[in-house]
């Protein structure tokens, strides 16, 4: 619409110039074109660099934030604590269905001291009895040891140990062993990010996370980050393909939840940076 308006103005001005030359032949066409054509062109080159991000990029970004995950199994909003937010406010992961974005449950990230973090179920955002069983996570808490690069997790309301593993932060490689029920064999899962440069100091984390075959070649997608919300850099939308490991206990198995805790920690660092007064 903007381009149509500008083009209409330009061609209309040229037509007006031609008509003016017929009526007042003593007026030079160059002067008329300069008067009617150059100002909107100059205005275009002034307005677009200054307000182009608002006119073009912001709506596109918001559309991507709202709909990029529609075809995935689920989605999660990683909401980091901003610079001016109270220290008591935790960073939160809100899990929702794809398409209709129905809230399911939320996990909080607790980092009371440097070197470790706790990623745990905060509450169900919809009544638990109304949520389909494949959307209810068996895993309720993950504790990360960033010194020894180990993690452990518990399941159910009685905090039964059900997950252990190790990870690497350089490429976010995870090697997990888990047993979500007491009567099933232990499951082994390995996955990694597609790119080593998944975390930057001044940008939100960008992660395309895939399973690993026995020969270390990448397999199916597990999750993928998209963009932050327009006008709110603290919220990062991430698409979830669902758990890829057998015996993982539904869409939100350990191979999905384990990397999300680290991803939220990175988004929390970015949220503090992007909201800090310049």
The three-class DSSP label of residue 231 is coil
User: Phi first, then psi: what are they for 63, rounded to 5°?
Assistant: -65, -40
Query: What's the mean per-residue pLDDT of the chain?
Result: 83
Q: Which whole number is the average pLDDT over 15-43? A: 52
Residues near 201 by beta carbon (within 8 Å), at least 6 away in sequence:
269, 273
Please compute, for residue 165, the number of CA atoms within 13 A of its CA located in the half-sphere on the CB side: 28
Question: Which 3-state string (H, E, C) describes the chain?
Answer: CHHHHHHHHHHHHHHHHHHHHHHCCCCCHHHHHHHHCHHHHHHHHHHHHHHHHHHHHHHHHHHHHHHCCCCCCEEEEEECCCCCCCCCCCEEEEEEECCCCCEEEEEEEECCCCCEEEEEEEEECCCHHHCCHHHCCCEEEEEEECCCCEEEEEECCCCEEEEEEEEECCCCEEEEEECCCCCCCCEEEEEEECCCCCCCCCCCCCCEEEEECCCCCEEEEEEEEEEEECCEEEEEEEEECCCCCCCCCCCCCHHHHHHHHHHHHHHHHHHHHHCCCC
Task: Please state, in angstroms and rounded to a whole number, the distance separating the CA atoms of residues 231 and 161.
Answer: 40
Between these two residues, 271 and 181, which has the higher pLDDT value? 271
With residue 253 as reference, give the H or E element that holds it: none
Q: Which whole number is the average pLDDT over 112-131? A: 93
Among the CATH numbers 3.40.50, 2.60.40, 3.20.90, 1.10.1060, which is that of 70-274? 3.20.90
Give the distance, in angstroms, between the CA of residue 87 and the centroid of all CA atoms in the same chain: 23
Please list, residue by residue across 160-177, b when 16 or more beta carbons sit within 10 angstroms of its beta carbon and e when fewer do. Answer: eebbbbebeeeebbbbbe
Task: Please state, in angstroms and rounded to a whole number, the distance separating the CA atoms of residues 81 and 142.
Answer: 20
Q: What is the pTM of this model?
A: 0.78
Q: Where are the alpha helices (DSSP H) in the chain?
A: 2-23, 29-36, 38-52, 58-67, 254-274
Residue pLDDT, tens place only, 218-267 = 889 999 999 999 899 999 999 999 998 877 778 999 999 999 999 999 99
pLDDT score for 24? 44
Residue pLDDT, tens place only, 169-219 = 988 999 999 988 877 789 999 999 988 779 877 899 999 999 998 888 888
Residue pLDDT, tens place only, 35-71 = 556 566 655 555 555 544 555 457 677 786 777 899 9
Task: Please state, in angstroms and rounded to a whole number, the distance separating the CA atoms of residues 94 and 125.
Answer: 9
Task: Please state, in angstroms and rounded to a whole number, the distance separating the CA atoms of residues 92 and 106.
Answer: 7
Portions of the chain given CATH number 3.20.90: 70-274
The three-class DSSP label of residue 271 is helix
């Amino acid at each position: 619409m903007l381009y149509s308006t500008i083009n209409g103005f330009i061609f209309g001005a040229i037509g007006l110039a031609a008509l003016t030359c017929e009526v007042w032949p003593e007026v030079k066409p160059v002067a008329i074109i300069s008067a009617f054509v150059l100002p909107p062109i100059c205005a275009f080159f002034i307005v677009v660099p200054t307000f182009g991000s608002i006119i073009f990029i912001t709506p596109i970004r918001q559309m991507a934030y709202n709909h990029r995950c529609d075809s995935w199994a689920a989605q999660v909003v990683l909401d980091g604590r901003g610079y001016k937010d109270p220290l008591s406010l935790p960073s939160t992961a809100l899990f929702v269905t794809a398409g209709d974005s129905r809230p399911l449950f939320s996990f909080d990230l607790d980092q009371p001291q440097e070197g470790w973090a706790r990623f745990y179920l905060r509450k169900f955002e919809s009544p638990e009895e109304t949520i389909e069983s494949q959307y209810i996570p068996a895993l309720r808490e993950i504790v990360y040891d960033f010194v020894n690069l180990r993690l452990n997790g518990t399941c159910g309301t009685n905090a039964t140990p059900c997950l252990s593993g190790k990870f690497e932060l350089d490429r976010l490689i995870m090697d997990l062993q888990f047993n979500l029920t007491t009567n099933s064999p232990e499951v082994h899962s390995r996955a990694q990010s597609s790119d080593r440069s998944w975390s930057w100091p001044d940008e939100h984390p960008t992660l395309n996370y895939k399973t690993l075959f026995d020969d270390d070649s990448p397999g199916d997608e597990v999750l993928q980050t998209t963009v932050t919300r327009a006008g709110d850099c603290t919220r990062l939308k991430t698409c979830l393909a669902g758990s890829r490991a057998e015996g993982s206990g539904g869409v939100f198995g350990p191979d999905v939840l384990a990397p999300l805790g680290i991803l939220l920690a990175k988004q929390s660092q970015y949220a503090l940076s992007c909201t800090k007064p310049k």
